[in-house]
C-alpha cells in the first residue's frame, strides 16, 4: 500500500512511507471486533463492496488499495506543488516528477495555474506548456473559451 507516498523519495527522501508495512490488511484488524471487513483492489470492486458493507448491519471497514502512480491519483497533489515546481525551475525537476505532469489535459493545466495563483505564485502559461506538454496556443485558446482570468 503506497498511501501518500507519491514521488516521496524525490520530495522527502528518507522520510519513510506506508511501504514499511507492505500488504497490511487494515480491514482484518477490525474483524475480531465483529465488523464487516473487505479489501478492494480494483475500481470495479468498490461499489459492490460498499453495498455489502451497508447491507451487513455492522460497523464496516473497507480497505481500498489505491493506485498512486498514475496522474489521475496525483492531480490534487500536483496542483498544490505546481507553484513550488515553478520556483525551482523545470530543469531542476526529476523525470519521475515531470512524467506526472506530461499529457495532462489543457483544463487540468489551467487548474494547476489557478491553484498556484491561489497560493500566491504567478507563473506564465509558457511554463505550464513546457511542464504539461500542451502548446501555449492551446492554453491561450482555453483561457479565451473559458473566460479564465490570470
Calpha distance 30→41 (Å, rounded): 18
Q: How many CB atoms lie within 10 A of CB 85?
A: 21
Residue 149, phi then psi, degrees to nearest 5:
-110, 135
Which of 89-98, 113-122, 129-138 comes out lowest in average pLDDT?
A: 89-98
Rg (CA), the chain: 20
Q: Band of the pLDDT at 1, cuts 50, 70, 90?
A: very low
Mean pLDDT score across all residues of the chain: 80
Calpha distance 95→82 (Å, rounded): 15
Q: For residue 31, what pLDDT is reported?
A: 96
Say if residues 68 and 44 touch (Cβ distance below 8 Å): no
Say if residues 120 and 85 touch (Cβ distance below 8 Å): no
Q: Band of the pLDDT at 106, cuts 50, 70, 90?
A: very high
DSSP three-state, residue 90: helix
Q: For residue 112, what pLDDT is reported?
A: 86
Say if residues 79 and 115 touch (Cβ distance below 8 Å): yes
Q: For residue 76, what pLDDT is reported?
A: 63
Q: For residue 69, what pLDDT is reported?
A: 56
DSSP H/E element including 117: helix 106-118
Amino acid at each position: 500500500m503506497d498511501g501518500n507516498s507519491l514521488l516521496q523519495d524525490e520530495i522527502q527522501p528518507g522520510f519513510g512511507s506506508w511501504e514499511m508495512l507492505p500488504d497490511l490488511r487494515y480491514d482484518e484488524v477490525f474483524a475480531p471486533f465483529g465488523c464487516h471487513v473487505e479489501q478492494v483492489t480494483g475500481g470495479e470492486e468498490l461499489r459492490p463492496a460498499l453495498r455489502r458493507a451497508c447491507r451487513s448491519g455492522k460497523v464496516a471497514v473497507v480497505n481500498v488499495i489505491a493506485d498512486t502512480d498514475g496522474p489521475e491519483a496525483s492531480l490534487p497533489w500536483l496542483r498544490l506543488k505546481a507553484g513550488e515546481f515553478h520556483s525551482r525551475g523545470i530543469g531542476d525537476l526529476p523525470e519521475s516528477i515531470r512524467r506526472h505532469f506530461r499529457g495532462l489535459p489543457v483544463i487540468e493545466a489551467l487548474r494547476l495555474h489557478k491553484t498556484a495563483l491561489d497560493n500566491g505564485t504567478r507563473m506564465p502559461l509558457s511554463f505550464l506548456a513546457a511542464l504539461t506538454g500542451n502548446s501555449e496556443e492551446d492554453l491561450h485558446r482555453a483561457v479565451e473559451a473559458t473566460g479564465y482570468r490570470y
